[in-house]
Structure 1
Amino acid sequence: MTFIYLMNNKKPLNNEIIKKHVEYLKGLKSQGKLMLCGPFTDYPGGMVIFLAEDLNEAIKIAETDPFIALGFKSYEIRTIELANEENNYLL
């Protein structure tokens, strides 16, 4: 299943926490779970799009992100059904 966690800033970031977050994302990528991620340019936060077996695993993945685990960001999680050429955009 495909999930998104949307993050909102709670306190200012620093280089140390950003490095921990990037290492976490690299770990998700090496596991084949990370699809897309990045900060918003028009809003104080960002998102991570990733694969998980179920909602419980998705919550664990989000809550293990150092940004969230160390209280720098809050999050909301969403399940998304991907629409693409392969599935005729869900038509």
Structure 2
Amino acid sequence: MSIYAVFLPMKDEEKSAQYRPQHLEFLEKLHESGSVSAYGKFADGSGGLVMYRAASYEETEKLVKEDPFVKEGARTYEIREWVMTSSEWK
């Protein structure tokens, strides 16, 4: 299992507000299943970040494309595989 950081830059603020409840519900279900380990928005309002756990880039992208924000055109996405070197916050 790999970790993928998915950036969700703002594309349409109106659509983001409209689809936020569905987006959060989608992420919570993935969090409960273990496919998402963390998610949140950037303080400056420019978008958000979701940390996925998946076997491949393709598996991650398949999930990302089901996110209501992406499906409805509220956000674009950028996926990067991330290698964690420490799990401690200091």
Tell me if both proteins adopt one fold, taking TM over 0.5 as the criterion: yes
* Aligned residue in 2 for 1:20: 22
Residue identity over aligned pairs, in percent, reads 28
Write out the 4+ residue segments of structure 1 that deviate beyond 4 Å after TM superposition. Answer: none
The answer to whether 1:8 aligns with 2:9 is: yes
Choose from 62, 83, 86 the match for 1:84.
Answer: 86
User: Post-superposition shift, 1:50?
Assistant: 1.3
- Tell me: CA distance 1:62–1:82, structure 2 relative to 1, closer, same or farther (3 Å): same
* Aligned residue in 2 for 1:54: 56
User: Post-superposition shift, 1:42?
Assistant: 2.6
User: Post-superposition shift, 1:2?
Assistant: 0.3
Question: How many residues matched?
Answer: 85
Give me the TM-score of the superposition, normalised by structure 1: 0.85
User: Post-superposition shift, 1:85?
Assistant: 5.7
* Aligned residue in 1 for 2:75: 73
Residue 27 of structure 1 aligns to a residue whose secondary structure is helix
Give me the TM-score of the superposition, normalised by structure 2: 0.86
Letter in 2 for 1:9: M
Q: Which runs of 5+ in 2 are unaligned?
A: none
Within 5 Å, which residues of 2 pair with 1:39-50?
39-50=41-52
- The one-character-per-residue Cα deviations of 1:53-86 (angstroms, maximum 9, x if unpaired) are 1111010111111101110000100000111169
Flag the structure with larger Rg.
1
Q: Which runs of 5+ in 1 are unaligned?
A: 87-91
User: Post-superposition shift, 1:24?
Assistant: 0.3
